[in-house]
Amino acid sequence: MAASSSPANVACVWGANGISGVAMVDALIEQERSNWNRIICISRRPTQLDVDDDRIYFISIDLLESSVNEIVTELEKAGGKNITHVYHFTYIEKKDENELDEVNKILFQKALDASIEVAGEHIKCVTLQTGYKYYGVHKGGKYLATRPYQEDAPRHQGSNFYYTQEDLLKEYAGKHGWKYIITRPNIIIGVSRGNFMNFALSFALYAALQKEEGQPLLFPGNEVAWNAIVDHSDAMNTARFQIWASTHDEIHDEVFNIHNGDEVRFCTLWPYFEKYFGFAPHKQMFDSNDIQTGEIGISQFSLAELMPKHIETWNRLAKHKQLNSSAFNYATWNFIDFVLGRAFDDHADMSKARKYGWTTTVNTVESYIRCFDRLKEMQIIPSI
């Protein structure tokens, strides 16, 4: 399938400092200048990117606190009138579902309104990244879609901010005449300097602390989660897919599940984790309590409760190994508890992407190792 042969594109990456945003920028700059001659990056914080490319223009602005007109002004300074492709990754965590829905709707709507005001008819495609929460994985039970998840699965009852965002995107696309792409990855493996829902970073900190205290690498979750299929999505692979899908005229107004394509279970990942971090193999023991398929929040112990008690160990380790002492603040222990406390296969069908010609498969173990190696380079975890 050939990409469009139109003149060089201009990308606008919203949420450029997060795992997915960083990967998108990296994926864009590996493309020829004849394909992408400008990459506008937007995030609340100053740039956290580790790349040097004169095509990049970084805007640091708080979307919640800024008006659309203020955002437009910054986009105009960046040459935003020529934006052809919008990639949206912004996200703010809220515990209350209604607040979560509202704040992330505002972020996306402001991004759309500002992009349209500046670039107008130049926009060819808007790509929105959502995820498996669309299928009710955060609720479980009766809310959980049938596995493997299909892109057209019925929506669960109640609030889901992904539903709000996707409906908004479709409404705007119909009104303004550009195509849209929606991607749904799961457990994104990647690195950025501080972000929400970073499983790999939080797990690496847990492993480093267990090693420092001479403890085995215990699996916090339940036995079903230990043996279940759980999809992972390499951030770079996901970004490359998003570019591929958004730049092919044959693909328009589609929703795609996107994961690495290999069958992954924590029971098969764990020995690789033990080897990487220097642990002796340890036989995991589980409670014999009956677990109902579809349940959530079932763990042997909670990292959100346990890890704050080890802050002194972390401070000692960080000082001794000259690590980034603030890295502990980046950890999202609740997210690990969430992932490992579920009692069901977390697996989606990727037939649609394959049908359109996406053939790439990523080895999830190798993806984790690349991520852990990068964390060592960033002095987040010890190299020895």
pLDDT digits (tens, 9 = 90+) for 33-59: 999 999 999 999 887 787 889 999 999
What would the CATH number be for the domain defined by 188-231+262-377? 3.40.50.720
What are the beta bridge partners of residue 323? none
Q: pLDDT per residue over 218-239, tens digit each? A: 999 999 999 999 999 999 999 9
Q: pLDDT per residue over 105-127, tens digit each? A: 999 999 999 999 999 999 999 99
Please state, in angstroms and rounded to a whole number, the distance separating the CA atoms of residues 157 and 93: 21
146: pLDDT strictly greater than 80? yes
What would the CATH number be for the domain defined by 9-185+232-257? 3.40.50.720
7: pLDDT strictly greater than 80? no
Q: Which two tokens stand for residue 76?
A: 């105009």
Please give the C-alpha separations between residue 47 and each of 54, 177, 194, 203, in angstroms, as whole numbers.
14, 32, 12, 25
Domains 9-185+232-257 and 188-231+262-377 share a fold: yes
Of the candidates 372, 20, 19, the one whose C-alpha atom is nearest the C-alpha of residue 205 is 372
Q: For tokens 């069901």, name the residue.
A: 344
Instruction: Tell which wins on pLDDT, 49 or 244.
Output: 244
pLDDT of the residue at 287 = 83
What are the sequence ranges of the domains in the chain?
9-185+232-257, 188-231+262-377
Q: Which two tokens stand for residue 195?
A: 């972000």
Q: Which two tokens stand for residue 143?
A: 């809310």
What are the beta bridge partners of residue 101? none
Strands 125-129 and 179-184: parallel
> Average per-residue pLDDT in the chain?
95
Which residues 6+ apart lie within 8 Å of 202 measured at CB?
A: 303, 330, 331, 332, 333, 335, 336
Q: For tokens 């480093």, name the residue.
A: 208
Predicted model pTM: 0.96
